[in-house]
């Protein structure tokens, strides 16, 4: 993790909140709670202050999806479908509290662009920008960013080692400069954090401890 301060141009910078939903927090303990999920909200709001546009992605899953684990023993076991790798506990199901954004975030309609993903029962995409594992079916987020003249994206959300990581990889592959604010994200498996950070930095991603390392250009 870099400790230097980075200067950014807010007019060419976007903030992306990846799946900051109640289904990934202790507010929905039977879903997929990530330790410390509620603590990221202030840091996400700080990211917003540094950007000219803000985006949010949400898991919007149907009931009875192919990836749903029926027991704890099934979690992370292989599924073997083209668009589903492993099983997960049911989470962020449409019509339940799990799909809602974490308390303290803007209303979903107040974001400049919202991305809904995971609606297909036979698909479980992690990244915010494509509906498929091969990154060919766009959610429209990349096109929106390009249309707004954005070249830098500050990323936070849930969870670092899955949906955040994949979204960052998609942004890098699409030619954007990416900054990950660690104060604005948490991992499903906290022990993975250092390895995920190292992997992202190897791709040219700037990883900062908090928004205090980011300064707006005069």
Indicate whether 149 belongs to any domain: yes
Q: Average pLDDT in the 133-154 region?
A: 97
Q: How confident is the model at residue 62 (pLDDT cuts 50, 70, 90)?
A: very high
Indicate whether 1 belongs to any domain: no
**Structural domain for 133, as ranges:** 6-216
Q: Which of 33, 119, 27, 32 is nearest to 69 (CA)?
A: 32
Indicate whether 49 belongs to any domain: yes
CA-angle at 147, arms to 142 and 150, nearest 5°: 75
Q: Average pLDDT in the 135-150 region?
A: 98
Indicate whether 100 belongs to any domain: yes
CATH code for the domain of 72:
3.40.50.850
**Cα–Cα distance, 138 to 58 (Å, whole number):** 15
**pTM here?**
0.96
The SS3 assignment for 141 reads helix
**First and final C-alpha spacing in the chain:** 25
Q: Average pLDDT in the 129-158 region?
A: 97
Tally of structural domains, the chain:
1
């Amino acid at each position: 993790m870099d400790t230097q301060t980075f200067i950014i141009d807010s007019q060419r910078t976007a903030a992306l909140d990846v799946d900051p939903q109640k289904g990934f927090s202790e507010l929905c303990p039977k879903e997929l709670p990530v330790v410390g999920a509620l603590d990221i909200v202030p840091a996400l709001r700080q990211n917003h202050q540094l950007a000219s546009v803000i985006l949010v992605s949400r898991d919007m899953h149907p009931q009875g999806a192919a990836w749903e684990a029926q027991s704890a023993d099934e979690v992370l076991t292989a599924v073997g479908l083209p668009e589903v790798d492993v099983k997960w506990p049911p989470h962020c199901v449409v019509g339940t509290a799990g799909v809602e954004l974490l308390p303290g975030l803007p209303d979903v309609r107040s974001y400049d662009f919202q991305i809904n993903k995971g609606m297909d029962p036979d698909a479980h995409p992690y990244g915010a920008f494509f509906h498929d594992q091969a990154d060919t079916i766009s959610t429209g987020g990349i096109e929106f960013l390009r249309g707004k003249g954005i070249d830098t994206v500050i990323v936070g959300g849930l969870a670092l080692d899955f949906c955040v990581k994949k979204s960052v990889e998609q942004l890098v592959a699409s030619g954007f400069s990416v900054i990950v604010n660690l104060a604005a994200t948490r991992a499903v498996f906290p022990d993975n954090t250092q390895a995920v950070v190292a992997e992202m930095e190897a791709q040219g991603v700037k990883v900062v401890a908090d928004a205090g390392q980011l300064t707006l250009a005069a």
